[in-house]
Every structure is written in C-alpha cells, then in structure tokens.
Structure 1
Amino acid sequence: MKIQVPFLQLPVSFDARALADEIARVDESHWRPHPNKLPGNSALTLIATNGEPDNDDLVGNMRPTAALEQLPRVKEVLAALGATWGRSRLMRLSGQAEVTAHVDTNYYWRERMRVHVPVTTTPDVRFQVGDAETNMKAGECWIFDTWSRHRVINGNHSTRIHLVADTVGGAGLWDLISRGRPAGRSIPGWQAPPAPLPGTGKVHIDFESVNLPSVMTPWEIRDHFVFLLGEAVPHPRLPVVQQGLLDFARRWHALWSALGDAKSGWPRYRELLDATRADILARGAGEIGLRNEVGLMYMLDMYVFGVALGDQNTANQSLRKDVHGDAPALPGAAAPKATSRRSAAGRFERPVFIVSPPRSGSTLLFETLVKAPGVFSIGDESHSLIEGVPGLAPSQRGHDSNRLQAQDATPEVTAQLQQRFFDALRDRDGHAPGEAAVRLLEKTPKNALRIPFLRAVFPDARFIYLHRDPRQVLASMIEGWQSGRFVMYPNLPGWQGLPWSFLLVPGWRELSGRPLADIVTRQWETATRLLLDDLQALDGAHWTGVDHDRFLADPQGTVERLGAWAGWGWDKDLGGVLPLSRYTLTTPAPDKWRKHASDIEPRLAAIQATVDRAARAAG
C-alpha cells in the first residue's frame, strides 16, 4: 500500500523479550524457507488461507495456523492493534542476509498495509524504502510504503525476527496511524506506550474472508486507474492510453448496471477485458513506466485485467501467490498468464548477454535492444536470480568475489538457473514464452566476471561487450559509491570505507581503507581485463563490441547492426534521441568526468594497457 511517507512508527510498543522467549519455544519444524528461496530468509506462518501453514495463496479465508495458537502474546499483539488480519508471519533473516529490493505489486497489497513489530534485532539491520533508511528497534511498531522499492539488510551476524502482518486496517489501527510519527521526525511529547501482554491469548481477532472480487465494481476499477495514471512517468502516449482506460471504465459500468456479478454475464465481461487489454497495448501502454520503476502495463494486469473477473482468478497463480520481486522494472512488462510451469530445458537459443564494467551505459543499451521482435528478458538485472541459487552468492563463497567459472555450473546449478531465468521471461509486449525456443537478452554488470560460467549454463551464449571512455566510467562510479544507491555488500568482513558498491572483484581486500578513486579504478581494470580475457578465448563469432559514444551518435544504426548479428532483426524507428536510463544519476555529458579529473588522471597510466585493449575490442 502506498503511504505518504517511507516509514511511519505507530504510538504503541510491545515487550520484545517476552515475545522472543515465547517464539523460541516453538519447534523449528514450523519454520519454512521463503517462497522465493531467498538465502537466509525463513518464515513461521501465523495466518494463512484456510489456516494451512504451507499455503502461500493470498486468496480465500485467512485463518490462524496451529503455530499461532502456541503464541498467546503474539495473538495479543494482533488484537491490541485493532485490525482485520490477512496473511501474517514471523519473518526470520539470518546474519549477513538480505531481503532483496522489490515492490509489492500483487493486487492483494493495493489496499493492505504491512505491519512490522521487530522481536529480535540489532542496530545493524537496515530497512530501505526508496532513498530513505531506518532501523526498527525491538518492540516498536511500524508500517511503511510497500509501493516503493524496498529492501532489508541484516548487517549483523545475529538473526533478526519480525512479526509481519498484512491488513486492510481497522478502527484501532487507523487511530494509531493517525497519531503515527514519520521516521526521523521529532514530535514534542510523542510517545509509544507499551501495550500489556498478559500471555493468556484470550482475545478476539478478526480475520479476512473476502479479498478478491468475482466481478470488480466500476468504482474500484476507476480507483485503480486514477491511482496508476497518477503514478505514471510523463510519456507522449499517456493521454491516448488514459482515454482508452476511460472508455473501458464506462463500458464496464454499463455492463455492471445490466449484469451485476451474475455468472451468465461473465462471457461479455471477458470479451470486453480481452479486447481492451489488446487495445491498451496497441496504444503504447507497454512503453510507459511508473515512478517506482515498475511498468504501467504490468500493474494494469495486476490490478485490473488479471483480477476484474472471477472466471480466471482461480487459475491465475501470479495473482494468488505471495511472490516478492516478481515485477519487471522494464516498462510494459505484463503479469504472467495462467499456465502450468514449463521446463526450461533446451528452450534457450543463442542467448545474448551484455557485459561491461558498471556505469558503462549497459542499462540504456539493454532498454533499447529489449524492444526487438521476439526477444525475451527478465526485465531487470539478475542479481538475486543468480545469487539466489545456493552456492553462488559471495557470502557462501568466503566473500571472495562475483567471479564464477565453468566448474561452478554443476548440472544442478545449471538446471535451476535456466528454470529461474525461464520463469521470469517476458517479451516486449509482456507475454511469457510460448512453445518455441526463446531468445534471451540479459545485462548485469557482475556478469563481466561470469562469462565462463554463463557459457557453461548456456552453451551457445553470445556476448555484446559495451565499451565506454574509462574516464567517464570512473567518474560515474565515484558518484555512484558516494550516492549510496548502488550498495551491494554493505558489511563485507574486514572492509573499511564506504559500504561496498557495484561488483565485487577479486582482490578487493587489498583495497580496504584506500581512497575511493583507487577502489573504482581497480574495479574497472579488473572487470575489463577479465571479461576481455574470457571473450577473446571464445570463437570470434560469439561476441561483438559496441562503443557507447558511437551508440549514442547513431542508435538506429547500432541496434540494426546488433539485431542482424544476434539474428533477431529490428523493426522500430528510434527517432534519433534516446531517453535516459532508469539508473541515471545526473544528465550525461562528455566532459562531466572532469570534475573528478584530479582523482582520475593520475591513475590512468597504471591501467593504460587495459584502456588501450578495451578500445581496440570495441572496434
């Protein structure tokens, strides 16, 4: 649910020690892995559909599990907050683990808050929402803006446990919210008095029974449209899309007035839904993004087209399940259709990976090429997708680096990674793969260190090396470190300096305590040298080079050349001017690097051999 501040602390607190002691007595067998198998994340289900602890559905009668009945004080917390409760859990985050950045996009969270009560925690647990960050202390009670991209990092070696409960609210909770305090704001006299927890569990709790419409009312549809259009990034196609949505809302209202939710009218509703979705895509909705970096078309599917009619709700698992991080950041990526899980084995044909050091412009190249016909992508970078496979995250490899070799692609790892990629794929119109082989396009700067591994996972993989003037890259990396927006490993053991940003290169420990310019220079040189070593060991037909400045000067010619090389072609007119990529910090300019010239120029001589080699490789 979108709220007006990143974090809001409620004026109530609870005895965290008593809660922790109670929770510690619950048998370990009640804990289960995170639905997305995120490393270090586990949960104890308290409220679930039909009270079934292994049921991740967000649809149906929400009822207490057997585990909640063993936790009287936890029940008393829920009762004290005065709300109607939906899916709720105890969430456990191991030391040095994280909840990767994501947006809660499911229809379920459109009007549901996520209440957090920390039970065991430390000052090193950082909760990030957009550009804001806070530490929730044990016993406090918080809600936050789940519509913004958010992330949790446990920088301590101790385990963190939060009570995490979803709700549409209630009289008691809305009163607490009205008296809440935004994180970091001082309000004279503001307090969070403790609520009593007698430990008897003799309380009344309201649970959800209705959470998905059979036929969505026209008033709810209009509310979703108003909300999403208000969140849209300005775009030339937006007025045309808005008119199409208004026309749909009027026609739906006419049907509703005649048919209500009678099943006899469902075929007419379905016909209107399907025709409108196709029309909205044709009007350009797939090109429009939202301010939280999710695509407008994706959210129209999640909020309206995928749930407005009950004829497909029970089959559409993407709208029923609790899946975090499933929203493609690429504008227009659409919700998955109702299909059975298909095997990825043998489905990839000549996948293409863009490889480069960080801040080389790979996002812009990716966002352009992904519009090619027949190309599929996961919509964003694959950090959690790859590092979520057991054994591939640096924390599970002695924090050595992001370097992965062919021997790391065991049969088990290969099968799992291919399936993870395949399940996330969408084309430029938001469609999942059909039965034909798929053409994958991917870009993640860490993959500059993983070329042998990717070749082992995808034996016929191709690579596009993107080169950019290293002076521009180093300056942008310096600013990226300083911004704090690109922190990857915030608590590397023994590291002294700003939290580690961008890819983790071999030999990083030698850089501890060194000037930032030394760090980014080593990152660029190591990543570039290793990726060129790996590329030049391949058959020359399996990779090609692109220069960033020449791409900006002739985007149409560049993408047509790359489309011909990759074998997927090109069918769009780019119009000569490309938009800024979503990870741009400030407007690009060829000489912008000069404000860091005193840091950059003295270090170029030591890496000149790699600088020259990189320029030659770009051709």
Structure 2
Amino acid sequence: MKLPVPFIQLPLQFDAGVLAQEIAVFGEQHWHEHPQKYPGNLWLPLIAVDGSPDNDSFAGAMRPTPYLLQCPYLMQVLSRIGAVWGRTRLMKLTGQAEVSPHFDVNYYWRARARVHIPIVTKPTVRFICGEGEVNMGPGECWIFDTWRTHHVINGSDDERIHLVADTVGSDEFGELVRDGRMPGNHMPEGWHAEPVVPTAERHPALRYESVNLPVVMTPWELREHISFLMREVRPHAQLEPAQQVTSRFLAAWQALWSEYGTDPAGLPAYRKALGTYEQWLKNSAPSLQLVNGSSLLVALRLMVLSVAIGDSSGNRDGGELRQATTVAMSKPGDGRSVRDPIFDRPVFIISPPRSGSTLLFETLMKAPNLFTIGRESHALIEGARGLSADDRGYESNRLDATAATPELIEELRHRFLAELRDRDGSAPERRPLRMLEKTPKNALRIPFLARIFPEAQFIYLHRDPRQTLSSMIEAWQSGRFRTYPNLPGWEGLPWSLLLVPGWRDLKGLPLQEIVAAQWNTTMRILLDDLNALPAERCHIARYDALLENPAAEVGRLCAALGLDWDRSLDGVLPLARYTVTAPATDKWRRHSDLIRQVLPGLQDTLDRAERFVAR
C-alpha cells in the first residue's frame, strides 16, 4: 500500500516477551524457506488459504493455521488491531541476513497495509524504506509504504523475528492509523502507545479475508488501478500516447462488462482485450517508468493484466509473470547451430574473490541495453533445489557441467530472467537480451554456467596476486564476508569468501595459508576451465589497467564483447560497494610479511596465470 510517509507507528505496545515465549515452541523444522530462496529469510504461516500451512497463495479464503491456534496472545494481538486479516506470517532473518531492496507492485498489496510487530530483535536491525529508516522496537506496531523501495538489514549475529500481517484494514484499524506517529515529524502532543497485556482468552474472534481476487475485474476497479499507475509514471514523451491507448482499453472493457459481467462466455473477449491493450502499450510506450523504478508494463502485468480475469490461464496468485525459456541445446556432432533465443552472449566476470570484480561489474553494468540482477547471484543460484552448500554436504561451491540437469537449467534461466533490469531499472522487453553477471563463486562454476548459457562469454579479471591475497586477508579479518559462519567441522575464524574443494585440509592453519590455498585452488580450477573453452569465448581484463585508464580498458572490453558504450569515464572510478579499504598499488605491503611466506608455494599457479593473460 502506498502511504504519504515511509513509516507510521500505531499507538499500541504489545508484550514481546510473551510473544517470544509462544513462538519458541516452533522448532527449525516448522519454518519455511523464502519462496525466492533468499539466504537467511524464513517464514512460518499463521493465516493462509484454507488454514493450510503449505499454501502460500494469495487467492482464497484466509483462515488460521494450526500454528496460530496454538498462540493465544498472538491471536489477541491481531484481535486488538481489529482488521480484516489476509496472509499473515512470522518472518525470520538469521544473523547478518537481509531482505534485499525491493518494492511491491503486485495486485494483492495494492490495497493492503503490511503490519510489522517485532518479537525478537536488536537495535542493530535497520528497516529502510525510501528516504526513511527506523529500528522497530520489541512489541511496537508499524506499517510502512510498500510502494517505495524498502529493505531490512540484520546487523546482529542473532536472529530477528517479526509478526508480519497483511490487511485491507477496517474502521478500527483506520482509527489506529490516524492516531499513529510518523518518525521525523513532530510528535503529537500526549502521544503514547497503549499497552496491550495478555489475557486468559484462548481464541478471540478474528476477521479473515474470504474474497481477495476478482472473477472478472469490474471496470471501476480496473480504472482505479490503471489511473493510479498512470499518475505514478515519470514525465515522458510517450505518456500521452499511452493515456490515449488506455482510454480506448477502458472503454472496451466497460462495454464487455455491460455485455457479459462475470459470465464465463465473455472470457475469450476479455482475454483478447487484455492482450490487445498490452500489445498497444508495447508498441506505443515501451520506455515508461514509474517513480519507484518499476517499468509501467511490468507493474501493469502484476497489478492488473495477470489478475483481471479469473480463468485458468491467468496468474491467480498475483505474482510475477513468467515466460518459458527452454533452450534447444545443440549436441556434439549433430550438425546443428542453435542460437539461444533468450540470452544473447551473456557475460560472466570470473576471478578469485577480492580481485576487483565488483568495480568492473558496477562499471560495465552502465552500458546501454545490458541487463543485470543488480547484485551477486549467491541466493539466486544456491536457492535452486540441490545447489546450496548444505544440499551438497558442504563439499565446496564447485559446480561442473553434470550438475546442470535439464530441470535446473530451466529453473535458473527463469530465475535470472525474472530479476534482470537495465541501468535505468527497466525489465527487458525484447528477446534475446544481453546479460552481465558477477559472483566470485562462479570462478568454480564455469562449465556449469556454460551448460546453462550456451553462448556465455567469460571475462577473466587479472589482478596482482599480492594485492588479491592482501585483500582476502582483510576480508576474513573484517567479518563482513562470512559465507558459512557455522561451517560444520571448521574451527577458528568463521569461514569467509568462497568454499573451495579441500577446505577441510586447511583446518588449524594460519590465516595466510588458508587464504593462499583459497586463491590457489580457485585459480587452478578457473584456468583449467577457461582453457577448455574456445578462445573466442574468453576475454582478459586487467585491474591495474582499469584503475589507470578506465575509458581505454572499458572501451576495449566493450568492443571485444560487442557492447555499446555511451558514458564518459574520465577521472577516478568510484569505490565499489564491497570495498574494505580504498585501492592502492602498494596496499598489500601492510601484509607483506604474511604474503611473502606463502608466495613460493604459489609459483606454479602464478606462472600459469601470467601465461594465460599474455596469450
């Protein structure tokens, strides 16, 4: 729901200690992974369709799950707020996890407020929404503007648990909102949060959604949603043609409604009207964006087009529209040359960790008509079934071609395509598209990626190994790059950066030797894998050249990769997001004694890397 401010605190204060005691009975086996497999994001269903804990849908009669019925004070909390409740959950963030930045344009959240009540939390948990940021205290009651970009960072090693409840509201709920306070504004005189103490009541009466998606969207609801989106469009020359097309569509829908209403006989005509409208907009206004960064077309699909009719061809969960992306792979010796219809020569930056790949990625992602997911793909890849370190017995992050089963190929291509955005935040409208990806673990996954993306191009980013080793040591010491803080069988500093084959043999070694083995194993694997590819699919970038003359190095790479470039790169490049300390050619000398101890044992790999770069 769009609000006039990022956050509103409602005037209620609940007993977080009692709530924590109630939910403590639910062990880890009761918690579900996030549907998009984001690391450290878990949920436990309290109100769901038909009261089923395994039904994550938005569509259907919402009822209490057995979990909620075991928690009388939780029910009292929801009863006191007095709203009509939709999907409601406990949401957990494990230590150091985060909810990545996003905004909600789905139909379900267009008219629903999202209530947050912290149950287990720390002052280090940051909730950021648009230009606002708060720490929601234990037992407080908040709503926020889901239309703005928002994300949550758990800066503690302890887990954070919130009660998160979606509601269309009620008169009583509206009164609470009107009496709420807005952080950053003047505190209303006499404002206080009413304490809500537990009572002996076991199952207080609650109000639940029974109707939440239309059979056929009425012309009045359709007009309201589309008018809202049109008001949110950034100024653009294409806006007027889009408004004209929209007026024609709304008039056509009104006529169909008058003729058919919700009669199933009208569904073919409704479907045709939706398809024609979408095609009109694709032709007349493909570049329109909303103020929150969403493409107008994407928002229309999620908020209107996917839910406007309730037949089986629609997406009844109001979720993201998906498109089949199966690729016909050519087989050795079959004489066929098959172009990938979706991913045209996707580009993967490959290097050991801490080699400057984020700087190169954040520079190249500004190329026009190039799409990225905007971050590293750890969660996207490892969230697929069977690919997490846990699923693979913590052997390593290595994935070879045999791991790329047809099912995984389909799933991962779906996952990437769904999240791709260009430099302006717009989703791709045409196929095939150019994609850029960078994740350090991918240095151990080159054959796997080449199987999934048959036209993949790889950039090997070469950096002075002394600088890389020094930066890896800093990463371990900083605690900011802990990938497996509870790695089974590991002792010492929590495991950081990528998990290499043979890591168990490193237990008990000094940090410089652990880091040297990480680098050495990664380099040997990536060099073997790159050498096995056709030479035209491998490209070289040099970190020192990127720093010294960004325009020349980026121009050379774009020419080799067939990418356009239209921006000036004069001067010094900005620091990358994961920088620990500012780059400097001699920065490694702060760890020079440690690095000189391990360099002799790396000489063979150092020589191989130099020969590969020189080729």
Q: Tell me the secondary structure at the aligned position of residue 358 of structure 1.
A: helix
Alignment of 1:40-439 (within 5 A): 40-130=40-130, 132-183=132-183, 185=185, 187=187, 189-285=190-286, 287-311=287-311, 314-317=312-315, 319-320=316-317, 335-336=321-322, 352-355=346-349, 357-360=357-360, 365=365, 368-370=368-370, 382-389=377-384, 404-406=397-399, 411=403, 418-424=409-415, 426=417
TM-score (norm 2): 0.70
The Cα of 1:231 is off from its aligned counterpart by 3.1
The C-alpha deviation readout for 1:33-71, integer Å capped at 9, x for no partner, is: 333333333322111111112111101111112222221
Structure 1 stretches lacking a partner, 5+ long: 327-334, 372-376, 482-486, 494-501, 507-521, 563-573, 579-586
Q: Tell me the secondary structure at the aligned position of residue 48 of structure 2.
A: strand
Residues 241 and 439 of structure 1, relative CA distance in 2, 3 Å threshold: closer
CA distance in 1, matches of 2:103, 2:250: 26
CA distance in 1, matches of 2:7, 2:195: 20
The Cα of 1:208 is off from its aligned counterpart by 0.7
The Cα of 1:260 is off from its aligned counterpart by 3.2
Alignment of 1:591-610 (within 5 A): 600=584
Q: Tell me the secondary structure at the aligned position of residue 272 of structure 1.
A: helix
Root-mean-square deviation (CA, aligned residues, Å) is 5.3
Q: Tell me the secondary structure at the aligned position of residue 53 of structure 2.
A: coil
Q: Tell me the secondary structure at the aligned position of residue 212 of structure 1.
A: coil
The Cα of 1:275 is off from its aligned counterpart by 1.0
State, as a whole percentage, how many aligned pairs show the same letter.
35
How many residue pairs were aligned?
538
Structure 2 stretches lacking a partner, 5+ long: 332-337, 351-356, 421-426, 487-495, 501-515, 542-549, 596-605
The Cα of 1:280 is off from its aligned counterpart by 0.8
> Which amino acid in structure 2 is aligned with residue 151 of structure 1?
H
Q: Tell me the secondary structure at the aligned position of residue 241 of structure 1.
A: helix
Residues 419 and 599 of structure 1, relative CA distance in 2, 3 Å threshold: closer
Residues 549 and 66 of structure 1, relative CA distance in 2, 3 Å threshold: same
TM-score (norm 1): 0.69
CA distance in 2, matches of 1:491, 1:3: 38
Moved more, 299-308 or 354-363: 354-363
Q: Tell me the secondary structure at the aligned position of residue 360 of structure 1.
A: helix
The C-alpha deviation readout for 1:524-547, integer Å capped at 9, x for no partner, is: x99x99999578635453435488
Q: Tell me the secondary structure at the aligned position of residue 282 of structure 1.
A: helix
Residues 618 and 365 of structure 1, relative CA distance in 2, 3 Å threshold: farther
- Which of 541, 549, 574 is the aligned partner of 2:551? 549
CA distance in 1, matches of 2:39, 2:84: 31
Checking the alignment, whether the CA contact within 8 Å between 1:82 and 1:172 is kept in structure 2 is yes
The Cα of 1:17 is off from its aligned counterpart by 1.2
CA distance in 2, matches of 1:532, 1:66: 50
CA distance in 1, matches of 2:59, 2:269: 24
Residues 255 and 392 of structure 1, relative CA distance in 2, 3 Å threshold: closer
The C-alpha deviation readout for 1:158-180, integer Å capped at 9, x for no partner, is: 33221111101111211111122
The C-alpha deviation readout for 1:459-501, integer Å capped at 9, x for no partner, is: 856324398999xxx9xx9xxx9xxxxx9879989xxxxxxxx
Checking the alignment, whether the CA contact within 8 Å between 1:298 and 1:430 is kept in structure 2 is no
Checking the alignment, whether the CA contact within 8 Å between 1:119 and 1:162 is kept in structure 2 is yes
The Cα of 1:94 is off from its aligned counterpart by 2.7
> Which amino acid in structure 2 is aligned with residue 95 of structure 1?
G
- Structure label with greater radius of gyration: 2
CA distance in 1, matches of 2:614, 2:149: 35
Checking the alignment, whether the CA contact within 8 Å between 2:384 and 2:411 is kept in structure 1 is no
CA distance in 1, matches of 2:94, 2:525: 33
> Which amino acid in structure 2 is aligned with residue 48 of structure 1?
A
Counterpart of 2:437 in structure 1 is 443
CA distance in 1, matches of 2:2, 2:328: 36
The Cα of 1:279 is off from its aligned counterpart by 1.3
